[in-house]
Structure 1
């Protein structure tokens, strides 16, 4: 089982980095936040559907068939992807690199930006950090809400799971809707993507902090629902900002780095830290502390917004090709 899970992780890792890069490569930057949010939300929707279908199959046929059914479904998707998404189509629909400072698109066939540029642009680094930390509390909600409803609402495990799945859908829906809002709000100024990401963090911080301190009841559920909706709303904007700030030739590497940050700082770290705190403070006490990570995420995003103009100027220089790079970076380009 561990070996199988390891191999599934290998495939998911490639999908998370290369897949989103493929999506962003064929759509204009003005819709990147919505597309990135929708792409990442697929995991939330899929988890709800997969758990429901897997549970049904396990009851009817056995737990082994639950895994077999998911594998068969995955193979069908592989076949469809291979038939519908080809290099020829991607080339035909590819969107060129972002305009430079003069408003002109740079074209350098065969030029590959140095991988080091993924880490030498401060704005990109702040996007990684802010994007990862804003996933911290969202991951906590996904992992610990079933236990929360079981312990504090006295729901049986199956009903607690169903109730929690509603909030999982809210998290996924929020990622999509917040992406659309961001694209609309930043249509005339791409720097506004930072602003919307900061606002989403603030909304989740306030609603979840208050909601988790209220007694059980309707008011608490409403506030938790609002907080869950915006909890991962910054995922689309941060992915769009990383795409805006990195050269198209290393976009998959950039998205892979963002995925690593999301996992290390959020999806993996959040449930683990809250689990440790729950052993000492109780689950409710640990959950009450988790929204304050949004403060750090917002600070990183604020710093990123301030560094964004310089980051875009740096990218515009990079777009002009190897002749615009320093000696060290030229060596890196030639090596790759």
Structure 2
């Protein structure tokens, strides 16, 4: 007489055969561990962006104390973005080979120690060097971190997790600037960096005590558990660029971030120029837009996983739909006269502006071999930065010099048309991508 099969209690993870008979308590522990990993990894992502963006909160103090120009202040910010753009892909590749847990630990320690160096810097040159090291430490955390998280969750929740993880950058930015400003007023600007560094190092200790390669392997989702014939197999790096729907996702993902980046960069100026708000109130209004963008990434990811539960290709459709909503709302909103109707349309467009990020990241993960998943996410991060986060604000700035900020903000969301075309192509080629991935050992 055979014993009944155990019940799987967590919809996001599935127990391994070795643990299937260990009872309900073991099942509950298994179901909680992936979410614990997600929480700690997400906490480190918040620390990443808090350490990066806290500098903005102390610009006035640095400018006065060190007699810095605006271009020097901008250099302290841009050097981090430069390092992220240059190093994300190579460091993601190294992490896939060397080990994601060790890589993430080293990255977090490096950016936390670099933040300590910011706190003790006594000149512009020292601060610039510290910010350089901070950028090196942060370069690949997002891509490697999300790859690690997705490795222990089944594909049906990948869009939700990807959207939530990517939204962490916006939440971390808001926290870093707001908390940094409060700490600077009460304790001085050096303590803002010190506080961020302590927060990061505490999370590093929690991460290192909780997350190990062995425990991740024991909790690996079924799509990443290696077969005996593939236990030592490593997918070639060229597979990152030879799968047609993945390439379409890179392009669509980067371009759908274009308008989101524009909103993050230019809404303070928009509220200042067109609503007559002083800079502090304009910053608060812009922070509300940032939170809408971040919240939309999470909610849209959840919607995508729900509608794509039975047919994964529906995730492409969801990503396209989110782009369409912003394509309609943002140009219409910015074209209207100032007032409630304009703000409502801009708010709706902002909510969906980066909503496709989760679905697109999920498709990249699902169509990439598990052994190069961090590298694939790193490539997507590069596309997001080059096609969206860097290009969007720059183009709006150039257009604003010639036609005004309002008209520039009205025109630039049309880039969604190209993003939608890329995503439609990705959906059409999805079956081809699945077939190519199936030819690689797993």
Could you list the per-position Cα deviations for residues 224-245 of structure 1 after superposition, in whole angstroms to 9, with x for gaps in the alignment?
Answer: 1100000000000000000111
Matched with 1:179 is 301
Does the aligned pair in 2 maintain the 1:97–1:247 contact within 8 Å?
A: no
Structure with the bigger RCO (C-alpha within 8 Å, sep 6+) is 1
Matched with 1:151 is 273
Matched with 1:249 is 371
Match of 1:81 among 203, 207, 218: 207
Q: Matched residues in 2 for 1:107 and 1:75: separation?
A: 40
Matched with 1:323 is none
Could you list the per-position Cα deviations for residues 185-209 of structure 1 after superposition, in whole angstroms to 9, with x for gaps in the alignment?
Answer: 0111111111000000000010001
Which TM-score applies when normalising by structure 1? 0.91
The alpha-carbon deviation at position 122 of structure 1 amounts to: 0.8
CA pair 318-152 structure 1, distance change in 2 beyond 3 A:
same
Matched with 1:8 is 134
Moved more, 143-152 or 107-116: 107-116
1:49 aligns with 2:175: yes
Matched with 1:170 is 292
Matched with 2:163 is 37
1:191 aligns with 2:318: no
CA pair 66-98 structure 1, distance change in 2 beyond 3 A:
closer
Does the aligned pair in 1 maintain the 2:151–2:224 contact within 8 Å?
A: no
The alpha-carbon deviation at position 71 of structure 1 amounts to: 1.6
Q: Matched residues in 2 for 1:37 and 1:170: separation?
A: 13
Q: CA RMSD in A?
A: 1.6
The alpha-carbon deviation at position 95 of structure 1 amounts to: 1.2
SS at match of 1:228: helix
SS at match of 1:111: coil
Matched with 1:332 is none
The alpha-carbon deviation at position 98 of structure 1 amounts to: 6.8
Q: Matched residues in 2 for 1:296 and 1:164: separation?
A: 27
Q: Matched residues in 2 for 1:63 and 1:317: separation?
A: 55
The alpha-carbon deviation at position 6 of structure 1 amounts to: 2.1
Match of 2:198 among 72, 80, 96: 72
Could you list the per-position Cα deviations for residues 214-268 of structure 1 after superposition, in whole angstroms to 9, with x for gaps in the alignment?
Answer: 1111111111110000000000000000011110011111111111111111111
Paired positions, count? 316
Which TM-score applies when normalising by structure 2? 0.70
Unaligned runs of 5+ in 2: 1-126
